[in-house]
Structure 1
Amino acid sequence: MGQNRRFQRTNDIEPSFTDTVSAADAHGAPRITSDALFGSARELVVVHRAQEYRLRCTKNGKLILTK
């Protein structure tokens, strides 16, 4: 669990934003906070297999993923 990985993310809000991804969870998946993904934005676009999905954080703090 000890080693952290770093990734670079760029967007219109913070053009050179760098976060730390935590060590993998019990299932081996990397962990990252929603704050690290969103920054100060309320919505982001995830591109998966050439398809765009919108991940939105609601006023109540819920996450909604739509195609």
Structure 2
Amino acid sequence: MDDEQLADLHKFLADHHRRLAREAVLDVVQHYHADLAQRLADEAALIFRRTAIAQRLREGEQRKKDELE
């Protein structure tokens, strides 16, 4: 699964939990689904950034390894 698919999955799940929050009768259930939806949306927004950071770290480690050889 690539980053775009993963972000789409998180967005889909966030929308799903927002719908569940709107349909929930109990306040505690509404808050749970709303909070979960927000966390999933936040994660979706960070996926590309985290991938870029991980790639830069891998490249830095590879450069260090190449310099030692």
TM-score normalised by length of structure 2: 0.21
- Higher RCO structure (Cα 8 Å, ≥6 apart): 2
In terms of fraction of residues, the more helix-rich structure is 2
Structure with higher Rg: it is: 2
In terms of fraction of residues, the more strand-rich structure is 1
TM-score normalised by length of structure 1: 0.22
